[in-house]
């Protein structure tokens, strides 16, 4: 495996673990505030991030590389409002999209076609991740501090379930 790609993919694996850690913190925050639907939404997000972790893990191993786990940085544990948590979610997903774009650039520079094909799934995934988080931000802005509105959205978010991609999707 190309060493530059291996190092960059290990860094991304760590970033995906950090994402799961952040969403675990948010789930705990929401569950403690008795917003179980919001907590559920974040728990599904954790599962998605762990799927991403394992995709990078498997790619590194399948290409003959070595997985190098690094410490996961600390994350916030409290947010003033559900809106501020989802704004942080959206901002974080934009950050991850930027990282994926940088990986794609590196893969092209290194002429690593397998990495390019692998990363295409993540490019598409990040479009969805950003759109989903942004949708919740816009909904929460419309609701404002409305108790009934938060109650309804909490009920809606409780219905979210993790749906893994079809076998073979995204390499």
Q: Is residue 137 part of a domain?
A: yes
Rg (CA), the chain: 17
Give whole-number Cα distances, 50 to 12, 36, 80, 103, 143, in Å: 12, 21, 27, 19, 31
Distance CA 116, CA 103 (A): 9
The DSSP symbol for 165 reads P
Q: Is residue 166 part of a domain?
A: no
Taking the chain (171 residues) in consecutive chunks of 10 residues, what is each chunk's mean pLDDT? 97 98 98 98 98 98 98 96 98 98 98 98 97 98 91 97 78 53
Distance CA 107, CA 117 (A): 10
Distance CA 125, CA 118 (A): 12
Domain total of the chain: 1
Q: Is residue 92 part of a domain?
A: yes
Domain harbouring 103, CATH code: 1.20.1260.10
Q: Is residue 141 part of a domain?
A: yes
For residue 86, the model assigns a pLDDT of 98
Residue 141's domain comprises: 3-157
Tokens of 139: 């909904």
Q: Is residue 93 part of a domain?
A: yes
Distance CA 115, CA 171 (A): 10
Q: Is residue 17 part of a domain?
A: yes
Q: Is residue 165 part of a domain?
A: no
Half-sphere CA count of 67, side-chain side, radius 13 A: 13
Phi, psi for 73 (deg, rounded to 5): -70, 160
Alpha helix (H) residue ranges in the chain: 3-32, 36-62, 82-109, 113-143, 147-157
Q: Is residue 94 part of a domain?
A: yes
For residue 146, the model assigns a pLDDT of 79
Give whole-number Cα distances, 44 to 8, 16, 71, 107, 162, in Å: 26, 14, 23, 30, 5
């Amino acid at each position: 495996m190309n060493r530059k790609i291996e190092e960059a993919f290990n860094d991304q694996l760590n970033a995906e673990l950090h994402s799961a850690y952040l969403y675990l913190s948010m789930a705990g925050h929401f569950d403690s505030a008795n917003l179980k639907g919001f907590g559920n939404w974040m728990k599904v997000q954790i599962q998605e991030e762990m799927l991403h972790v394992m995709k990078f893990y498997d790619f590194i191993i399948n290409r003959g590389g070595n997985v190098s786990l690094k410490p996961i940085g600390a994350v916030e544990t409290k947010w003033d409002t559900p809106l501020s948590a989802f704004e942080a979610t959206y901002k974080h997903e934009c950050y991850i999209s930027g990282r994926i774009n940088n990986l794609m650039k590196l893969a092209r520079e290194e002429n690593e076609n397998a990495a390019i094909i692998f990363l295409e799934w993540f490019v598409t995934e990040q479009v969805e991740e950003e759109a989903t988080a942004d949708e919740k931000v816009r909904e929460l802005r419309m609701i404002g501090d409305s108790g009934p509105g938060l109650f309804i959205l909490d009920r809606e978010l409780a219905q979210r379930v993790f749906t893994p991609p079809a076998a073979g999707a995204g390499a």
